[in-house]
């Protein structure tokens, strides 16, 4: 009975969302396969975000959610519990992604954010369960009393057990929306409304500066929080999101936090200062990120070089951030 219901649900998703997406595996090899995108859960805001229970409507919601004071996890610590239907094998995979995120966001060998099993005195914690799709709350939900549901399912036709999907969902938990919801997104991507299922158009919402904080980072095609090129497409052979600054840029990677994701988390949690627009602070922060993890370093060095960064910084104040980090 339950099984039938699930099979129908799975098949329905399969039909509706069937398209070819690159599945980025934890081994970091890219494999293209036909599978529904488990992050595209119809009816949930942004495909994979659970509305706060006290929010008035799905449209009443806020890159980093504001205000940070009531959406950040205290001390950057996220207590978690696993529901019984997450297998030991999958919980080990999820915990490994938590460790990877902690390592990537370290500043000077000190943890910036961390995940730990909830203890008996924790009032606020996430519950990771095997639901239908991959979705999560955005931010800590403050002092809300009740379940903070994080669905990381693992099924026959679909799975959230992909390094970058788990990191994506946990980054929502830390307080971040999708990259293409940034206030400045129209300067970086062209949303192809004609190819978007009208009932899913809300997934392409753009927030304003009073709702979200870009943490003085540039728009990042490489963000683990960016949708892929044909997310929620009517015709999935055609795009819904075209990167306009670099039409061949790859969007929607699901391997790990990008260097800019890392910086945004470090700034939101106050682990590095959010700079005012000055060349000195920016280059200091870049140095900090470069030093914080060898993985980050390799990504950065394969995408740009610091002399480019330095020369860009001297041009115009506002484009500094954008150009600087984009070249990273």
Ligand X SMILES: *[C@@H]1O[C@H](CO)[C@@H](O)[C@H](O)[C@H]1NC(C)=O
- Tell me the binding residues for Zn(2+): 168, 172, 178
* Partner touching 48 among ligand X, Zn ion, none, CB below 5 to 8 Å by kind: Zn ion
Q: How close are the terminal C-alpha atoms of the chain, in Å?
A: 52
Instruction: Establish if 238 lies at the interface with ligand X (CB under 6 A).
Output: yes
Tokens 């000195």: give the residue.
280
Instruction: Establish if 249 lies at the interface with ligand X (CB under 6 A).
Output: yes
Alpha-carbon span 23 to 183, nearest angstrom: 28
Relative to beta strand 189-191, strand 241-243 is antiparallel
Task: Give, in order, the Cα–Cα distances in Å from 224 to each of 6, 44, 95, 157.
Answer: 29, 19, 18, 22
* Partner touching 305 among Zn ion, ligand X, none, CB below 5 to 8 Å by kind: ligand X
Q: Can you tell me which of 31, 33, 143, 248 binds ligand X, judged by CB under 6 A?
A: 248
Instruction: Establish if 273 lies at the interface with ligand X (CB under 6 A).
Output: yes
- Residue positions in the annotated binding site? 168, 172, 178
**Where does 83-206 show beta strands of DSSP type E?**
114-117, 126-129, 134-137, 148-152, 189-191
Instruction: Establish if 153 lies at the interface with ligand X (CB under 6 A).
Output: yes
- The contacts of residue 123 (CB under 8 Å, 6+ apart) are 143, 145
Relative to beta strand 134-137, strand 189-191 is unpaired
Residues 287-326 that bind Zn ion (CB under 5 A): none
- Count of residues binding Zn ion (CB under 5 A)? 1
Alpha-carbon span 58 to 198, nearest angstrom: 16
What the block records as the tokens of 39 is 């992050």
Instruction: Establish if 208 lies at the interface with ligand X (CB under 6 A).
Output: yes
Tokens 């297998």: give the residue.
87
* Partner touching 109 among ligand X, Zn ion, none, CB below 5 to 8 Å by kind: none
Q: Can you tell me which of 156, 294, 314, 318 binds ligand X, judged by CB under 6 A?
A: 156
Q: Candidates 50-58, 84-92, 164-172, 253-261 — which segment interacts with ligand X by CB under 6 A?
A: 84-92
Q: Can you tell me which of 37, 40, 48, 230 binds Zn ion, judged by CB under 5 A?
A: 48
Instruction: Establish if 4 lies at the interface with ligand X (CB under 6 A).
Output: no
- Count of residues binding ligand X (CB under 6 A)? 43
For the CB of residue 12, give the shortest distance to ligand X in the complex, in Å.
12
Instruction: Establish if 100 lies at the interface with ligand X (CB under 6 A).
Output: yes
CB of 53 or CB of 238, closer to ligand X: 238
Tokens 């070089």: give the residue.
305
Instruction: Establish if 27 lies at the interface with ligand X (CB under 6 A).
Output: no
Q: Can you tell me which of 294, 307, 314, 318 binds ligand X, judged by CB under 6 A?
A: 307
Q: Can you tell me which of 49, 107, 166, 328 binds ligand X, judged by CB under 6 A?
A: 107
For the CB of residue 318, give the shortest distance to ligand X in the complex, in Å.
15
The number of beta carbons lying within 10 Å of the beta carbon of residue 305 is: 11
Alpha-carbon span 326 to 189, nearest angstrom: 14
Transcribe 20-69 into DSSP letters: EEEEEPTTS-EEEEEE--TT--TTSBTTTEEPPTT-S-TTS---EES-HH
Helices (H) and strands (E) in the chain, counts: 9, 12
Active site residue 169: yes
The answer to whether 49 and 173 have CB atoms below 8 angstroms apart is no
CB of 48 or CB of 215, closer to Zn ion: 48
Q: Using CB under 5 A as the criterion, which residues of the chain lie in contact with Zn ion when the complex forms? A: 48
Q: Using CB under 6 A as the criterion, which residues of the chain lie in contact with ligand X when the complex forms? A: 6, 83, 85, 87, 89, 93, 96, 99-100, 103, 107-108, 119, 121-122, 129-132, 153-156, 161, 208, 210-211, 235, 237-238, 246, 248-250, 272-273, 275-276, 281, 288, 305, 307-308
The catalytic residues are 169
């Amino acid at each position: 009975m339950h099984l039938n219901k699930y099979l129908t649900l799975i098949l329905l998703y399969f039909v509706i969302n069937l398209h070819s997406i690159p599945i980025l595996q934890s081994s970091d090899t890219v494999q293209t396969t036909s599978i529904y995108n488990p992050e595209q859960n119809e009816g949930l805001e942004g495909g994979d975000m659970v509305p706060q229970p006290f929010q008035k409507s799905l449209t009443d919601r806020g890159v980093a959610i504001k205000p940070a004071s009531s959406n950040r996890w205290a001390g950057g610590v996220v207590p978690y519990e696993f529901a019984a239907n997450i297998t030991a094998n999958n919980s080990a995979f999820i915990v490994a992604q938590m460790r990877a995120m902690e390592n990537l966001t370290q500043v000077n060998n000190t943890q910036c954010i961390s995940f730990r099993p909830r203890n008996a005195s924790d009032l606020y914690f996430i519950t990771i369960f095997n639901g239908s799709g991959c979705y999560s709350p955005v931010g800590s939900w403050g002092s809300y009393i009740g379940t903070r549901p994080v669905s990381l399912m693992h099924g026959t036709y679909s799975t959230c057990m992909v390094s970058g999907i788990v990191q994506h969902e946990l980054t929502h938990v830390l307080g971040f929306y999708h990259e293409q919801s940034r206030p400045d997104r129209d300067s970086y991507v062209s949303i192809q409304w004609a190819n978007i299922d009208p009932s899913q158009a809300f997934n392409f919402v753009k927030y304003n500066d009073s709702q979200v904080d870009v943490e003085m980072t540039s728009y990042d095609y490489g963000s683990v929080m960016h949708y892929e090129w044909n997310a929620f497409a009517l015709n999935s052979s055609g795009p819904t999101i075209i990167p306009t600054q670099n039409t061949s840029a790859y969007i929607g990677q699901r391997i790990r936090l990008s260097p800019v994701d890392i910086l945004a988390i470090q700034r939101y949690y106050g682990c590095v200062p959010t700079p005012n627009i000055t060349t000195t602070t920016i280059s200091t922060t870049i140095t900090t990120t470069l030093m914080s993890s060898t993985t980050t370093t390799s990504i950065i060095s394969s995408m740009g070089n610091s002399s480019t960064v330095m020369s860009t910084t001297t041009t115009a104040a506002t484009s500094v951030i954008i150009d600087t980090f984009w070249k990273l």
